[in-house]
Structure 1
Amino acid sequence: MIMKKFYTITFFLIGSFLSFSQTENNKANFQVSLSDLEMKNFEKDTTANAVVLYEYGNSFVNPHSFKLQTEEKHKIKILNKAGFKNAKISIHLYKKDNFNTETYKDINATTYNLENGKITTTNLDKKDIYKEEIDENNTLIKFTLPNLKEGSVITYSFTKTSPFMFNFYPWNFQSDIPKLYSEYNTSIPANWKYHIKLVGGKKLSTNENSVKKDCLRAGNGGVSSCFVSKYTMENIPAFIEEDYMTTKYNYLARIEYELESFAAFDGYRHDYTKSWKDVDKELKSKKTIGKQISKSIKVNEILPLNIQNESDLLKKAQAIYSYMQNNYTWNGEFRVFNDVSIKDLLKKRSGNATAINILLKIFLEESGINTQPILLSTRNNGFASKTIPVISEFNYFIVQASINNKTYLLDATDDYLTFGQLPYRCLNHYARLLDFENGSKWIDIPLNQSNIQYAVVLNLTNTDSIKGKAKSRRTGYHALKSRKSYFKNEDAYIEDIQNNFPYIEITNHKVTSKNKNSDNFIEEFDLEYENNLTSQNLYINPFIINFFDKNPFKLQERTYPIDFGYKSTFFYSFKINIPDNYELIEKPKNTNLILPNKEGQVLMSSVLLNNTLNITFKLNFNQALYPPEYYPYLKKLMSKVVEIQTNSFVVLRKK
């Protein structure tokens, strides 16, 4: 289940909205007050380095130039020196060519300070505004507010003009600092029809809609009404990125616009929103996907005979997949809709992800294995919209193979992947399977289980030495990480193990899974503890490895999901044989902490049986994705995990 929330706002719903009090309305303005300057901290978020006190946006079509014009105003309180970065402002301008380019004007910026009880102002000098050319299409207009101090309030405003009505100006209600009030006003002529979505799941404080007649007139006498909207949000928390999440743009509170259709005053109409049937037809004929997929290749002149002669379809598919991994190198680029050439890939033996996976599909199809192309959006790219087809939101191409009534999702860009395993970047919950005969459809990305198991057996001798053996087995993505580290540099891998155990000597390390893309990673080694005898007591931390060195969850509140990408189980067993001349003084406490609905658990058990102490530790994450409501429980669970691994001791006393 995807936790991203969309709220569609139509121009025809003038419906109910939340109003704010007159007192709050007086506070929500661009003027800097004495109370703004006297503000020492932000009570609702004491960690904030700055806070937006007020921001205002207004986007409309200029009745004279027929270009999209946006006016912005911002008022920000700088609470400390770490907040100074919020006084560095950038305005992005896009240029398609010399006739189609975005422009700016009327930049005004002022820094307010409270000095000896009086308000002083310092205005931005126009010479301190400069351009930074990113490339031939993108430019940044940059400036920094002057005379900054802890406690300053800054204001800035500007106007931006754009000829690109395809993307109506979006508005970000949320950023990496908290905001007290954010307002966005729009006036959209009826000629342009947009699909409007509110992303991030936060509610609007104000959602007002009305119709203004005759707001736009053309030279030929054409007249258009405008749909006028006002949206506000109040008390918006800062968005702070943390581990285990997809891109923040899946969850930042904002309004976005996608052009559905345009009707000119002369009667011309163009529909930009297409059905998936139209998109399938376009992709089938598109040079980069459809044409490349349909290429005919003499597979019998490329694939080795042993692969061609394999009669078992699954073994043949696995051999073809392995051949691709070992003979074609990924150049690090995705390139779904451009620069995709199977001919170049065959010649250079190196290419982008789409070319490699299309060639994999061709090899499989020509070998009698049914395949389908799949488009997806990677974790860092965001979720592809399911509401309407937006092809530009897809940035990756993989293959589905159907063998013996079972499907496998394949990507041959990484020679450490096992057959049927996708790169972690692809674990973004769903994808679009392209079936050019029966129509495309959404499919779920499998949430495979990944495990780590450790077994440690120690023997305490009468001479006070502690020796033993450790074995571990990893599967899934845990195994993938270890395989990459080990097979890329075996010596560095072993040295890293030794560095992680400063009080233990590691010897006779060996890996029994010799294949770098096997479906597991198995290793074992001998170990010997340093003598830690203090007086008559011997202290032993049973955890020679820590699954988690620290709690990854530190926020007071997390408003977006916890996305691990896959389900996980961590299991650790520890056994120590105690000689007769020692007695057990202390052992780790038993623990059993369970997440709501049994969606996860940390279990710790220690049992002394005869002269053998057995300790077991198990951590389960039964879901790959947890909604934000689970955050406090996950935070508590992970805190317990770190506490157990750090503070668990076996204390033995010499008789």
Structure 2
Amino acid sequence: MKQIILILFLIISLTSFSQENYNSETYNVTLGDIETNTFKKDSTANALVIYEQGNSYVDKQKYDLRTEIKHKIKILNKEGFDNANVTIYLYKSKDRKQKVEDIIATTYNKVNGKVTKSNLTVKNIFREEYNENYTLVKFTLPNIKEGSVITYSYKLISPFMFKYKGWDFQDEIPKLYSEYKTSIPANWLYHIKLVGGKKLTINDYEIKKGCLQMFNGASADCGNSIFAMKDIPAFIEEDYMTTKSNYLARIEYELETFRDMDGTIKHYTKTWKDVDKEFRTDKEIGKQLKKSIEIETLLSSDIINETDLFKKAQAIYKYVQNTYTWNDRYRIFKDVSIKNLLKNKSGNVSSINILLHNLLKESNINAKPILVSTRNNGFPTKIFPVISDFNYLIVQATINEKSYLLDATDSYLNFGDIPFRCLNQYGRLLDFKNGSEWINLKPSKPSNIYYKADLQIDENNIISGVVNSRRTGYHAINRKKKYHKNENEFLEKLENRYPYLEISGFEVASNAINSLDFRESYNIEYNYDSAGNNMYLNPFFVTFFKENPFKLQERTYPIDFGYKDTYFYSFKLTLNDNYTIIETPQDLNVSLPNESGRLLFSSKKIGNTLNIMLKINFKKAIYDAEYYPYLKEFMNKIVNIQTNSVILLRKNN
């Protein structure tokens, strides 16, 4: 018996070992790669990069940039088949273009105990002219099955040394090992930026003497680097985040200086001082910012003669906001024209907000433009100017030593508000006199939701009452847009959302589209569940979160709500003499770490009245990834309270 147990233990041990026997050290496919069909670290993974490598260097004869790329991927199930579809993007300009050579792709399967290989043929490689800047080369690995291992490699040839090849360590599937080798001649000086916050497993650097010989006999040393990461989790997008390009672990290159073999130097990366100077003389944005406006032809005499600068700024803002329509285009560095805006009454972001800027300045109000990168566009680089990072422009007005952020493209915004799309942490304030600077982009006012329900059970045992709600900040803006877009549809959705409620007498108190808040009130009749003499009520016919938005096992990027907010729900039920309160939900008081959030839930019986209160407070706009497990549990408790809270009433005999 002991021998049998020992044999079984060895079999189980060997089986467990073989299940994770991937060869992540080389590109070569091993039997372990083929026979292993699980990935314990991420049971949700549909495919897995076992090994990948990139190697970039300058060719010694043609002096172009060459990158040799290799991928080895395990297909774990059918949902992972898409990883066998490969697209290579080739950049092109008017007179130069990237090329790809030496595409080799193979699929490995184990059939009837034997390993089979299926090779990609040249006729199954396709080219597609995608747009004026890119050509696509596409292919699909042949004979894909669950459990297949695929390998593919190719050489990318680029004449664009200013655009040194970057490397993505992280993707939508997990990776066991990702390595990038670079060899950069010393006469090319790049800014190297590691994005995503994950640490390198390998970060080696050495200088190789005389690695590149030029036609005139000159030579250059090279800086050779090896960057690598191991055990990289899949990047899965989830609610409450900015664009994933902010967080994907990768390495990027920005050319700073090129020194030619004849000694001439060309600077590509400039300082902000240089950029400020260029903006002052720019034919598009710079010219428009300096454009003189005859305010008498645009503004009413009441606005022009207003002596209170704050009231005057508000009036100018409303004029631009209500007179000119945004055409949904950003185009901050191109097609910027105040002249066309005045003529057509419609224009892009820059045209509208530069008009606002110029009108404020002409009215002796301190105004400056701010370059912004929207939430979907990614964070702008801070360590050196990369103007292409920006895609939006807003205005800062400073009145009586207080600054206001302004955007006149949205008629629902109040003075001092900017659209949610602009809440991307920071922007660049342009000051052509004192020099530009980074500023924080924060909401001007709190964003809250308040609900108050006051119900009673009448002599006929009908539960009815009044619900009042109030929203402020971005919650108000979102609600106003839904309501004013189609009032009938808004009310219909409200009624359909709560099928066990009869809603009547719906009213909106703050009806203006740019009102500071949004207030609703309506009457309800509550259809309750009963079983014999018992009545069961869920007091939360209004739910702030229907389900937990946080479902990942692990989240490696911040939770970005955009703004701090508070949710408050008050429920009051007054009973008649026919019913007695038997059971109420349990109280709860939960805090997030460092008092960065709080959940309060309480129920109190006072005579024949029951009062229930729920308050949720997120005290931070952005939570670091370390908060994720706490926020996940925090949300679980919120959802549980709203869906499972029950009031038990018993009928008096």
Shorter-chain TM-score: which interval?
Answer: over 0.9
Letter of the 1:562 partner, please give it.
I
1:34-113 aligned within 5 A: 34-97=31-94, 99-113=95-109
Q: Which residue of 2 aligns with 1:9?
A: none
1:368 Cα offset (Å): 2.0
1:568 counterpart letter in structure 2: D
2:626 maps to 1:629: yes
SS in 1 for 2:284: helix
Q: What's 2:535 paired with?
A: 538
Aligned AA (2:281): S
Sequence identity percentage: 58
The answer to whether the aligner puts 1:644 opposite 2:653 as a matched pair is no
> Is 1:194 the counterpart of 2:212 in the alignment?
no
Aligned-partner Cα distance in 1 for 2:565–2:438: 25
Distance in 1 (CA, whole Å) between partners of 2:530 and 2:628 is: 41
SS at match of 1:324: helix
Asked whether 1:561 is paired with 2:558, we answer yes
Hey, what does 2:287 align to over in structure 1?
291
Assess, with a 3 A threshold, how the Cα gap between structure 1 residues 25 and 35 changes in structure 2: closer, same or farther: closer
Question: Is the aligned partner of 1:408 residue 2:404?
Answer: yes
The answer to whether the Cα contact below 8 Å between 1:465 and 1:531 also exists between their aligned partners in 2 is no
Q: Secondary structure at the match of 2:190?
A: strand
In 1, are the aligned partners of 2:368 and 2:431 still within 8 Å (CA)? Answer: yes
- SS of the aligned residue for 1:479 comes to helix
> Does the CA-based 8 Å contact 2:49-2:173 persist in structure 1?
yes
Distance in 2, Cα, partners of 1:581 & 1:489:
43
- 2:508 counterpart of 1:511: yes
Relative contact order, higher structure (CA 8 A, sep 6+): 1
Query: What's the offset of the Cα at 1:449?
Result: 2.0
Provide TM-score, normalisation by structure 2.
0.95
Which 4+ stretches in 1 moved above 6 angstroms?
A: 23-26
Specify the code of the residue in structure 1 equivalent to 2:323. Answer: N
Runs of 5+ unmatched residues, structure 1: 1-22
Q: Is 1:398 the equivalent of 2:394?
A: yes
Q: In the TM superposition, what is the alpha-carbon distance from 1:533 to its structure 2 partner?
A: 3.1
SS at match of 2:225: strand
| Residue 310 of structure 1, CA deviation | 2.4
Distance 1:145 1:462, change over 3 A: same
2:255 to 254, 259, 278: 259
SS of the counterpart of 2:471? strand
> 1:125-147: CA deviations, max 9, x gaps?
11111112221221111111111
TM-score normalised according to structure 1 size:
0.95
Q: Which residue of 2 aligns with 1:308?
A: 304
Deviations 1:202-261 (A, max 9, x none): 111111111111111111111111111111111111011111111111111111111110
2:441 is matched with 445
Partner SS for 1:227: strand
Q: Distance in 2 between matches of 1:474 and 1:301?
A: 38
Does 2:477 correspond to 1:477?
no
- Worse overlay, 27-36 or 550-559: 27-36
TM-superposition CA deviations, 1:484-520 (whole Å, max 9, x none): 0001111111111101110001000010001101110
What is the rounded CA distance, in whole Å, between the counterparts of 1:149 and 1:531 in structure 2?
Answer: 53
Query: Which amino acid is 2:171 matched to?
Result: S
Q: Are 2:241 and 1:245 equivalent residues in the alignment?
A: yes
Is contact 2:166–2:252 with CA below 8 Å preserved after alignment?
yes
Quick check: 1:174 aligned with 2:170? Answer: yes
Give the structure 2 partner of residue 153 of structure 1: 149
AA aligned to 1:437 is K
Amino acid at match of 1:325: Q
Cα displacement string for residues 405-450 of structure 1 (whole angstroms, at most 9, x for unaligned residues)? 2110001111111111111110011111111001111111124421
Cα distance between partner residues in 2 of 1:482 and 1:116: 61
Q: 8 Å contact 1:37–1:152 — kept in the other structure?
A: yes
Which one of 599, 606, 610 corresponds to residue 603 of structure 2?
Answer: 606
State the alpha-carbon separation in 2 of the partners of residues 30 and 315 from structure 1: 68
Deviations 1:455-509 (A, max 9, x none): 0000101211011000000000000000000011111111111011100010000
- Call closer, same or farther: CA 1:270–1:637 in 2, change over 3 Å: same
Name the amino acid aligned to 1:518. S
- Structure 1 distance, partners of 2:28, 2:34, is 11
The farther-off stretch of 125-134 and 106-115 is: 125-134
Alpha-carbon distance in structure 1 between the residues aligned to 2:300 and 2:488: 34
Match of 2:137 among 132, 138, 141: 141
Give the AA of the match of 2:299. Answer: L
Report the aligned-residue RMSD.
1.3
Partner of 1:282: 278
Does the CA contact (< 8 Å) of 1:450 and 1:568 recur in 2?
Answer: yes
Number of corresponding residues: 632
| Correspondence for 1:214 | 210
Structure 1 Cα separation of the partners of residues 207 and 358 of structure 2: 54
SS of residue in 1 equivalent to 2:278: helix
Q: CA deviation at 1:307?
A: 2.2
Query: Cα offset for 1:385?
Result: 1.4
